[in-house]
Amino acid sequence: MAGKFEIYQDKANEYRFRLKARNGQIILASEGYSQKSSCEKGINSVKTNASIDLRFERKETKSGAPMFNLKAANGQVIGTSEAYSSESARDNGIASVMENAPEAAVQDLTES
């Protein structure tokens, strides 16, 4: 099974997406969007930018755990990772986004 994007609504009724790897683990999550079309544009931006290593901002959480942001060409954050236990685990997460995002299918969980 290939990686996939899931579109869902959070408790505040904002649209969000998450990118899941082949094993079902969430490897990237979005901010909240008021419009589903904006969320879909965010997914397209991830697909476009995920193959460009320089778009990944490698950083640490406030508690010092490695994590990353994926940024668009304009510098806006389009996706955020979880906190990782090590820099190598974070780098594996980036590699997974680079591998999974460009061809990932989109599953809309907001449609019944």
SS3 category, 57: strand
pLDDT score for 62: 94
Residue ranges of domains in the chain: 4-108
Task: Work out whether strand 4-9 and strand 56-60 pair parallel, antiparallel, or are unpaired.
Answer: unpaired
Q: Residue 60, class by beta-carbon neighbours within 10 Å (0-12 exposed, 13-18 middle, 19+ buried)?
A: middle
| Alpha-helix runs per DSSP H in 13-102 | 36-49, 87-100
Q: Which pTM was predicted?
A: 0.93
CA terminus-to-terminus distance, the chain: 23
Evaluate whether 46 touches 70 at the Cβ level (below 8 Å).
yes
Range 4-108: architecture per CATH:
Roll (2.30)
85: DSSP letter: S
Q: Please, what are the averages of pLDDT over each run of 10 residues along the chain (112 residues)?
A: 90 96 94 96 97 97 97 96 97 96 95 70
